[in-house]
Amino acid sequence: MSDSSKRMGNPSDLEHLAKLLDGRGNLRDRLDEAFTRAAGLGVRDKLSSLKPMMHWTDDTAVDLRRRAAILRAEDGDPRAAALYAGFKPEDLKGATLPPEAMLIANASVAGGDKFDAGWLKRKPGETYQDWLQRIPGDAVAKVSGNENLGEVVGDYINITALASTVPGAFKMAAAGTLGLVKYFKSLKTPGEVKFLKAPGTTLAQILKGRPPSYIPGSIARLGARIGARTPAPILNVLTGKDGLAALAGKEFAWEANLLKVGKNASALSKATGAGRMGAFASGAGAAMRTAGFWRATGIGGSILATGIGAFDVYQEGNPVDAFKRDKAGYVAKVSGVAFNASLTAAMIAPNPVTIGAAVVTGAVYGVATIVDNWDTVKKFPGKVADAGAWTGRKIGEGASKLADGAKSIGNAIGGLFD
């Protein structure tokens, strides 16, 4: 198909045709089903002539989406580059291409046959999140013509992500372990049972004058003064209402199991004659007020991170193949999902099981992520030095050309007066 004929198509039609080939329940699935049934009947060899069609459907569907992406790029669709890379529209729901890479990525796609957009294509086993991390660095390499400079940008993004996630995982592992040790020690002392607190509620404790033991005294005193001067209704909205924690048998909001609070509040509402929807609303409202804005926001963010991570792992495909491709990377992704899921559970219902799960998965996730990125961290300083030297040379070349140009202009002006 020529470049001009590609631009005469309708991208939606091309994408629909691709979906007929590899979408759920369409040609590719039916071929798989036919081969599965044939294998069960012992006649799989009878369908050998159809086997090439399986690869044809996959390749053709990808090609159709890339052609559609070229048309979309011409219309300024920000998803065009990701669609060209080989991702399906359903993979991109709610996702955006980073602005710093969007212009050059979509420009490469819009160029069609005139430009090499092969650098955008999805690599084997590459998930959408992996692709998003790779594209900015590759875009810089494309513009500058310096592959090392592109690697510096890509490595910087990876190291920044490492610095923003690993400390939190290790902090959870350390704080959770300390909390569990104190909890089990208190069980041995008659009349003294310490309750576990939900992760992410340290600030609430400080503001209410109940800081953890590891918080410096000066910070604890300052926080308590701020909390004392904050109007109680506002403090309760932010940190959770302690009075409702009694519904779960606890004294403070950060100790309460939100599921128990909601369940018991719903039961009380039903006992006073409320209907099913009214009881549910009462229970949900009590749980939200007990959580407070900060804790509820943390739960929402953790749920979102779990969903994104789980979808990322799903895109890796067969777990055995994914593990063979990148052992440390795959372990880091799977443990990241497990950590965020267990962290969500611990924030909703703090108890020895949920806190213990968050401690273990947090430690595994932190270690696996460091192992996965260790080569990047080691080589990064050298790459930065090389990029700096290259930049210095380019600046020097630019200054030299500027000086030569100024000299030429000066000579030309001088010639006018000779």
Distance CA 117, CA 208 (A): 57
The pLDDT tens digits for 246-261 are 998 888 999 999 999 9
Continuous segment of H or E residues that includes residue 140: helix 128-144
Distance CA 89, CA 71 (A): 15
* Mean pLDDT (whole number) for 3-28: 71
Query: For residue 97, what pLDDT band results from cuts at 50, 70 and 90?
Result: low
The pLDDT tens digits for 142-197 are 766 777 776 777 777 777 777 778 888 888 888 889 888 888 888 777 666 678 89
The pLDDT tens digits for 337-377 are 999 999 999 999 999 999 999 999 999 998 988 888 777 77
Phi, psi of 216 (to 5 degrees): -55, 145
pLDDT at 273 over 80: yes
State the pLDDT at residue 1: 43
Cβ atoms < 10 Å from Cβ of 211: 19
Higher-pLDDT residue of 157 and 115 is 157
State the pLDDT at residue 6: 45
State the pLDDT at residue 226: 93
* Mean pLDDT (whole number) for 226-230: 92
The residue assigned the tokens 């559970």 is 345
Phi, psi of 210 (to 5 degrees): -125, 55
Nearest partner of 158 among 358, 328, 361, judged by Cα: 328
Mean pLDDT of the chain: 80
> Residue type for 193, please?
V
Q: Do residues 214 and 178 lie in contact, with contact meaning Cβ atoms separated by under 8 Å?
A: yes
State the pLDDT at residue 159: 77
Query: For residue 403, what pLDDT band results from cuts at 50, 70 and 90?
Result: low
